[in-house]
Amino acid sequence: MCLVAFAIGASGRWPLVIAANRDEFLARPTLPLARWQTASGQDIISGRDLRAGGTWMGITPGGRIAFLTNVRQASPEAAPRSRGELVTRWLEGAGDAASFVAELENADGGGAAYGGFNLVLGDLQRNAWSWVTNKHAAAPALYAQALPPGLYGLSNAGLDTPWPKTLELKRVLASALKDGEGTGGREALQASLWAALGNRQRALPQDLPHTGVAPELEEALSSAFVDFPVHAYGTRCSTLLMATPLKGDKGQWDIQLEEHTHVRGGLTQGAPQGDANAPDVRHEQLSVKVS
């Protein structure tokens, strides 16, 4: 993912909401949201990167959740490990975030084995959330921070860095949650978030972040929905996750996942090139009971 707004315990009616866009090169082979099984036998619900084998966001029937963004750098160094591997490693595990971070620190060069990343780890059974990054000014390697209930935003910098598109998606999520507490229902909340994820408005020059990349690239990446055909790059999919606890069933949750795959010129996840009849958007929707 390259843009995420998420609310943890910020609404009594909607205690977990995640709205995210994944930006990637259009030719990178990918499978859409589905239930699949890892080599270790773990059931995972996620999309899949077919080049490196990992994913950018996923959940398990046991209530483990993870998603990540990369950290934008002017001249990123090649890394031996894929960032998407971090998500699947968490989903396949059973320990808490502290033990996960300790394992990363002691194996494969720790955070240095991966390109710059932001990783959010969630465990519905433990009611615990953490943000982990290998690009933090206060830490030479990995930095981990527990996340109390609240509303957060991530793009390609640190947690809650006030980039215009991050602030706007957080604003829309906060407003949608407030409306959802009243007369607004699930459909109204989803409609607001889908519209925000599809926003192609770029930031004004004076509001652009300065990450060291070329100004035209900085501008192209400043919208929530990225469309940069010159570089064959853009928003590949948009995802909404909404989770609510089941009444009378302690520790059990109902999770609704919906993904929109954005098709450009026949290039899409799991589809052959040159499919002129492909729709502009493909939809995947899954319901998961967590216990």
Q: Is 53 left (phi over 0), alpha (psi -120 to 50) or beta?
A: left
Closest listed residue to residue 211, CA positions, set 74, 110, 101, 87: 74
> In 3-state terms, what secondary structure has residue 8?
strand
Strand partners, 233: 25, 228
Planar angle of CA 217, 118, 11, nearest 5 degrees: 105
Output 148 or 264, whichever has higher pLDDT: 148
Q: Cα dist. 169→199, 205, 219, 224, 285 in Å?
A: 9, 19, 17, 8, 22
Question: Whole-angstrom Cα distance, residue 60 to residue 62?
Answer: 5
pLDDT surpassing 50 at residue 277 = no
For residue 206 the two structure tokens come to 């004076």
What pLDDT is attached to residue 95?
A: 95
Give the model's confidence band at 268: pLDDT under 50 very low, under 70 low, under 90 confident, else very high: very low
Q: Is 215 helix (H, G, I), strand (E, B) or coil?
A: helix
Of the pLDDT bands very low, low, confident and very high (cuts 50, 70, 90), residue 184 is: low
Q: In which residue are the tokens 């400043």 written?
A: 222
What kind and span of H or E run contains 244?
strand 233-245
Q: Looking at residue 1, what is its pLDDT?
A: 81
Distance between first and last Cα of the chain: 26
Element (H, E) at 195: helix 186-197
Average pLDDT over residues 233-239: 96
Tokens 């209930």 correspond to: 149
- pLDDT tens digit sequence for 20-36: 999 999 999 999 999 99
Query: Please, is 80 exposed, middle or buried when counting C-beta atoms within 10 Å of its C-beta (0-12, 13-18, 19+)?
Result: exposed
- Run of H or E residues at 241: strand 233-245
Q: Which residues pair with 66 in a beta bridge?
A: 58, 121
- What was the pLDDT predicted at 137? 82
Q: What is the mean pLDDT of residues 65-78?
A: 89
For 105-155, how does the pLDDT look when each residue is reduced to its tens digit (9 = 90+)? Answer: 887 667 888 999 999 999 999 999 999 999 998 777 899 999 999 999 999
The answer to whether residue 241 scores a pLDDT higher than 80 is: yes
Which two tokens mark 69?
């963004």
Please give the angle made by the CA atoms of 106, 133 and 21, to the nearest 5 degrees: 130
DSSP 3-state of 65 = strand
Look at residue 92 in the predicted model and tell me its pLDDT.
Answer: 96
Closest among 225, 285, 279 to 256, alpha carbons compared = 285
Domain hosting residue 104, numbered range: 3-290
Average pLDDT over residues 245-255: 83
Is pLDDT above 80 for 251? no
Residues 6+ apart with CB under 8 A from 50: 29, 30, 31
Q: In the predicted model, is pLDDT for residue 276 greater than 70?
A: no
Which of helix, strand or coil describes residue 191? helix
Domain total for the chain?
A: 1
Give the per-residue pLDDT at 159: 97
Average pLDDT value for the chain: 90
Which pLDDT band, with edges at 50, 70 and 90, does 73 fall under? confident
- Residue 90 in tokens: 């968490």
CATH code of 217's domain: 3.60.60.10
Percent of the chain whose predicted confidence (pLDDT) is above 90:
73
